[in-house]
Structures are given as structure tokens and as C-alpha cells.
Homo-oligomer: A and B are copies of this chain.
Amino acid sequence: MFTHTQALQFEAKPDGPDPAFARRMQEILGGQWGEMTVATQYLLQGWNCRLPGKYKDMLLAIGTEELAHVEMIVTMIDRLLDHQPLKPDASDRSKEAAAGFGQVNPQHAIANGGGAYYKDSMGVPWSGGYVTASGNLMADFHYNATAEMQGRLQVSRLYNMTDDPGVKEMLRFLITRDHMHQNQWLAAIEELKSDGLEGIPVPEAFPLDEEQSEYSYAFIQASDGAEAAAGRWASGPAPDGRGQFTARAIEATADAPVLPPGDPRLFGTPQTEAHGLLQKAKDMLT
């Protein structure tokens, strides 16, 4: 259950409108790696978590914080959208005006009336398919760490795409929190290991003797790049501490497959072959 306060976790006001940057900021609101993804993902992982205690509690805490970031970014985009030019202004011959008109998101005006929405910088709607909550915290915490890395990377790039001090101030806040959250997930991964809850390979509970052991530590060179096996991943001890990496070329262990014939009621090509060739033979004879 949530309660909301209208006061913002962090606020910064832009110096002036910039609808082109508003479009770009949609990426970190409604894009694959935007705040909608992390907010709803951490909450879902928390709610679905069947192990009570610190992990579940932590997930719900961070998910709730991310909702505040959704709110902050929506508010910033709204402000950047003021005075969006609706049509080319014949009296303004500056390059900025032209570019400004050219690169806006027309839905910001036509559909939203000057407001943000849950889509990315190219107008593709945010999708519930971006969210993963697998039930295995180790797998999911790695995904969460990734999300914070991709997120900080995108905000850092946006930081280089504007000169507005207010916008940059907010981006710095987001970059800082993504820094914290990277650390948080990496620490949680260590905690899972030290609590003995999960290890590498995930899922650790799948019995290793069911594996086909000749492939467990083999780096397979299917491309001709000369240095493909020149990294740690192809020789020496594997990170899971259970084997030694080797390298080998890709090779077939089975012949070309032959599929069984299809069901004639599905009218695929193979099943009519005999009949067809018969027909053809008949045609040739007559």
C-alpha cells in the first residue's frame, strides 16, 4: 500500500523550454531502461519474492524510490514542453528554431497537450515485457545491476546533449542514484552468495552431474577472429571455481537432421510429393 506526497524527492527547473530535449528525455522515462522499467520491476520482484526478510524489504524500498523518479522526470518533461512551436515560424530564421521544430515529438502536442507519456524517445510505448521477475534473485539482481548501468550510461549521454543548468542538475541527481544502485545490486549479489542462497552457475540447485561435462568449460570458436580465445574466458580457472576453461573449434556432433513427413491435413509441401510426382509422371505419359 502506498501513500503519496506531492513534494518531490528532487526538483530542478529548466532555464527555458526545449521540446527537442523533452523528446530525448522520454528515453529514460518510458524506454527499455527507463524509470518505468526499474520502478515496476523492483516492486514486482519484491511482491513475488517468496522469501520474507531483507531481500524482499530492500526490493520494495528501492522500487518505491524509483516511482519518485518517474514523477520527477514527468515533471521535467512537462516544463520543457512549454512553448513548443506548433508550426514553422517564417519570421524566425535561426538555425536553432529550425532544428527545434524539426526534432520534436509531435505526439507531445497532438496527443498529450504538452505533457509526458510512457513511451520512449522514438514514440514506442513502454512494454510490460521489459520487466523480469524470475523468482531467482541471483538472476534478477544481475539484471537489476545491468539496468542501473544502462540507465546511468543513458543519463550520462543526455548530460552531454544539453547546456541547460537546471536540466543538468536533475540529470546529476539521477546519475548519482544510478551509481548508488549499481553498488546496491552488486552488494546484494555478494550477500546472496554469502547467505548460501544461490551461486554460479544459476540455478545452482540443478545437479551438475546432469550436465554434459565436456561442454561445461569449453569456449567454442565459431568465428575466425584471431584473438577470440585470448581472454580469461578461454583458459585458466572459471569464475565458478568448479573447472578450467578450454577452447576448441565448433564442431558438429550429429548429422544433418531428417524430419518426419508432415500431416497431410495441414497441406504442407512434403506430404504431397509422392502424389505430385505420380501425377507428373502420369501427365508425362498422357
Contacts and interface: CB of A to CB of B under 8 A. Distances in A.
B257 A111 contact: no
Interface string A29-63: 01111001000100110111111111111101111
> Quick one: copies of this chain in the complex?
6
Given A4-B2, A136-B268, A149-B136, A196 B283 contact: yes
A5 interface: yes
| Residue among A36, A48, A78 with the highest chain B CB neighbour number at 10 A | A48
A225 B126 contact: no
A250 interface: yes
A213 to B, nearest CB: 7
A285 interface: no
A153 B136 contact: yes
A165 interface: no
A221 B260 CA distance: 26
B9 A269 contact: no
A3 B250 contact: yes
A189 to B, nearest CB: 9
Interface string A102-120: 1111110111111111111
A127 B116 CA distance: 15
A104 to B, nearest CB: 8
Contact of A139 (B43, B150, B161, B250): B150
Given A149-B201, A188-B233, A195-B276, 5 more contacts: A2-B4, A48-B112, A153-B267, A156-B206, A196-B279
25 contacts: A1-B7, A4-B60, A5-B252, A10-B254, A23-B106, A24-B110, A40-B118, A44-B74, A44-B115, A44-B116, A51-B269, A57-B225, A68-B222, A95-B97, A105-B122, A110-B157, A121-B123, A125-B127, A139-B153, A152-B201, A153-B202, A172-B210, A187-B239, A191-B232, A225-B256
